[in-house]
Amino acid sequence: MPTLAVIGSQWGDEGKGKITDYLAEDADLVVRYQGGANAGHTIKVGEEVFALHLLPSGIIRENVISVVGNGLVIDCDELEVELEALRKTGRSGKGLRLSDRANVVMPYHRILDGAEEKARGSKTVGTTGRGIGPCYSDKIARAGIRIGDLLDEELLRDRIATIAPVKERFAESLGAELGLDQEALVAKLLSFGKKWEQYITDTSVLVNDAIKAGKKVMFEGAQGTMLDIDYGTYPYVTSSNCTSAGICTGVGVPPSAVGEVIGVTKAYTTRVGAGPFVSELTDEVGKHLQTKGGEFGTTTGRARRCGWLDLVVVRHAVRLNGMACIALTKLDVLNDLDTIKVCVAYDVDGKRVENFPSNVRHLERAKPIYEELDGWKSWEGSTAELCKRGYEALPQGMRSYIQYIERSTGVPAGIISVGKGRDETIDRRHKKW
């Protein structure tokens, strides 16, 4: 089965963009299946740095077809900005395909995102403010506008006329005003439809045909397992299924089409926004990880909360996603620490807990149970040269850390990443596709 899935094991920002780009060298298609412009994937290629939000990471390789699946929510203004930025780098974006079934993030979704956060008072989720929750809510409530609607003026006008008054009343109940000009909205959306007509298609047919033809297809996750609407730290989550299960509904492929799942796992833990984080460090070590790891959001610029690696989280992710291996990233950020801790279980009200709890109150009370490992010193010379020499060239302490994680999660660390660049990667997988 020539498909690979790249999925985040933690609360996002694990380095999915880097790993997807690295693996996309051999890919024919890179397919996103959920999320929207809340994502921020940074990819470094030589001296160039790309910050992608909606566009699949394959878009920077001109020979790759980059699919935005039906499971995404598309902010048209955002997509336009991103395509413009891409073109400025000399890339055409011609490989882009947009699902006609993907939902559209409407301007009022952003306003409602802010108004809903405000209404939560001190219990805000800390969303990215990109209208993601309100857009997915409307999709489920059958009040969404879909990308295919942008090609059908009569349908679009009719949908907006039905939906807009309800949205106006809802916004009013939250003390917000939408001031919707339905005609202007219709005209704007139709202009996007016209501009992108050549990209809009039934992407389920496209992807299934490609798989049947033996093409190499990658599924790229956004966010991470702990932000999954069902299995994350609810209600401090995003509004889509970030796990591998989301691929089927978010692309329109059967479960049998999902091949090897690779779980991108940061060597420590970060999270943006509110919500429980058992292994969080609010001390100097946390600050050190934040500074050295450059832990500031690609989308909102917010500082990411930092902490030790939480193996309760990673085991949860391995099980839920069926991860065949993990891609362990940012190990270099741990260089030069004397000791490194890993959270192996939680203490919840005096009881040792090994599986990730569903109850947010239990999580808020949970205390980390740590094991301590020796640190290691950084290497001399360039990281790319080190990687050329392979796994055995890594510092002994780092290899022990990797082995500890492999034992605890039960899966191999198939890919090791010790820097931002493509060549700062060690691929230990026996079978590549």
Among 3, 12, 246, 324, binds ligand GDP (CB under 6 A): 12
Q: Is 84 exposed, middle or buried (0-12, 13-18, 19+ CB in 10 A)?
A: exposed
Residue 372, classified by CB atoms within 10 Å of its CB into exposed (0-12), middle (13-18) or buried (19+), is: exposed
Shortest CB 57 distance to ligand IMO, Å = 10
Rounded CA-CA distance 64/51 in Å is 18
Site for ligand GDP in 298-317 (CB under 6 A): 298
Contact indicator for 332, 270 with CB cutoff of 8 Å:
no
| 89 vs 182 by CB, closer to ligand GDP | 89
272: partner contacted, choices ligand GDP, Mg ion, ligand IMO, none (Cβ within 5-8 A by kind):
ligand IMO
Does 238 contact ligand GDP by CB under 6 A? Answer: no
Among 128, 225, 233, 241, binds ligand IMO (CB under 6 A): 128
Strand-pair partners of 372: 341
Nearer to ligand IMO, 356 or 401 (CB): 356
- Does 295 interact with ligand IMO (rule: CB under 6 A)? no
Active site residue 288: no
Residue 13 annotated as catalytic:
yes
- Asked if 13 interacts with ligand IMO (CB under 6 A), we say yes
Q: DSSP readout, 82-123?
A: HHHHHHHTT---TTEEEETTPEE--HHHHHHHHHHHHHTGGG
DSSP letter string over 12-44?
S-SSHHHHHHHHGGG-SEEEE-SB-TT--EEEE
Residue 273 within binding range of ligand IMO, rule CB under 6 A:
yes
Binding part of the chain for Mg ion, among 108-116, 293-301, 304-312, 342-350 by CB under 5 A, reads: 293-301
CA distance 39 to 311: 24
Q: Which of residues 21-60 bind ligand GDP (CB under 6 A)?
A: 40-42, 44
Q: Considering only residues 205-234, where is the footprint of ligand IMO by CB under 6 A?
A: 222-224, 227
Candidates 10, 103, 238, 417: give the one binding ligand GDP (CB under 6 A): 417
Q: Which of 13, 138, 228, 332 is catalytic?
A: 13
DSSP code for 303: B
From the number of C-beta atoms within 10 Å of its C-beta (0-12, 13-18, 19+), residue 107 rates as: middle
| 146: its two tokens | 């879909």
Q: Taking CB within 5 to 8 Å according to partner kind, which of ligand GDP, ligand IMO, Mg ion, none is near residue 332?
A: ligand GDP
Is there binding between residue 40 and Mg ion (CB under 5 A)? yes
Residue that the structure tokens 């990443």 belong to: 417
Chosen residue from 74, 252, 332, 343 binding ligand GDP by CB under 6 A: 332
* Pairwise CA distance, residues 238 & 17, whole Å: 18
148 binds ligand GDP (CB under 6 A): no
Query: Which residue in 4, 6, 8, 318 binds ligand IMO (CB under 6 A)?
Result: 8
Residue from 2, 107, 126, 375 touching ligand IMO (CB under 6 A): that is 126
Catalytic residue, chosen from 21, 26, 28, 41, is 41
Span of 32-40, 57-65, 278-286, 309-317 interacting with ligand IMO by CB under 6 A:
32-40
Contact window for ligand GDP (CB under 6 A) among 9-17, 21-29, 108-116, 407-415 = 9-17
CA distance 2 to 319: 22
For residues 14 and 339, give the distance between their C-alpha atoms in angstroms, rounded to a whole number: 22
Of the candidates 186, 272, 373, 416, which one interacts with ligand IMO according to CB under 6 A? 272
Q: Residue with the closest Cβ to ligand IMO?
A: 273
Burial of 264 (0-12, 13-18, 19+ CB in 10 A): buried
CB neighbours of residue 4 within 10 Å? 24
Position 17 contacts ligand GDP (CB under 6 A): yes
Contacts of 159 (CB under 8 A, 6+ apart): 145, 149
User: Residue length, the chain?
Assistant: 433
**Would you count residue 8 as binding ligand GDP (CB under 6 A)?**
yes
- Contacting residues toward ligand GDP, per CB under 6 A: 8, 12-18, 40-42, 44, 294, 298, 329-330, 332-333, 417-420
| Residues designated as active site | 13, 41
- Contacting residues toward ligand IMO, per CB under 6 A: 8, 11-13, 38-41, 125-128, 130, 132-133, 222-224, 227, 238-239, 272-273
